[in-house]
Amino acid sequence: MYKPSPYPLINKIRNDIIFVMIILIGGLIMGFIVLPFIISKFEQRAYTADQQALQRAVEQHKENIFPLSQLPTLSGSVGFPVEGNIQGYQCDDSDIGEICSWLDFEKMVLTGSLTDSAVIRSADSIKNSSATNAPSGQYGWYLGETGNVYSQPAYSVDLGYP
């Protein structure tokens, strides 16, 4: 270890330095263990907040447009998006069985049910083509058959939140 000094102040400083180093190392280890869980919780809350904001916007859109002529989706349809078994944005009605139920943020902004399409940072602007968030998010938001808002893919810790 170290040789005790005949001066008590030097011994106290050494002990304080060693104590501070032990606390810092312990704090760093705890930080590396706990920090990912904390970040994941915040990302999941942000994702959930986006989903709830979109759900409120869909409900508000239904109230603002009376009689409801078209749902706030890119093609007016609901259900799990099926785009001719092709990945990415193919909402062109070229496939007979195509369901293009991605939410149309521009429609909701125009009716006043959504303040701005850039508010939803998690939206994938390829799928939700009227989303103006930059950079684009990882989740395509769509309207299910029950009228609830879902994302494709569902929330994942690996994807996180943009």
Per-residue pLDDT of the chain (162 residues; tens, 9 = 90+): 556 666 676 777 778 888 889 999 998 888 888 877 777 788 889 999 999 999 999 988 888 776 666 788 888 888 888 776 555 556 665 555 677 888 988 888 888 888 888 889 999 888 888 888 888 889 999 999 988 999 989 888 888 887
Residue 12 lies in a domain: yes
Residue 47 lies in a domain: yes
Residues of the domain holding 130: 8-152
CA dist 110 and 162 (Å) reads: 25
On the 0-12 / 13-18 / 19+ scale of CB atoms within 10 A, 160 is middle
Residue 2 lies in a domain: no
Number of domains in the chain: 1
Residue 58 lies in a domain: yes
Residue 1 lies in a domain: no
According to DSSP, the residues that pair with 102 across neighbouring strands are 142
Residue 67 lies in a domain: yes
CA dist 26 and 140 (Å) reads: 41
Q: What is the pLDDT of residue 1?
A: 53
Q: What is the pLDDT of residue 47?
A: 92
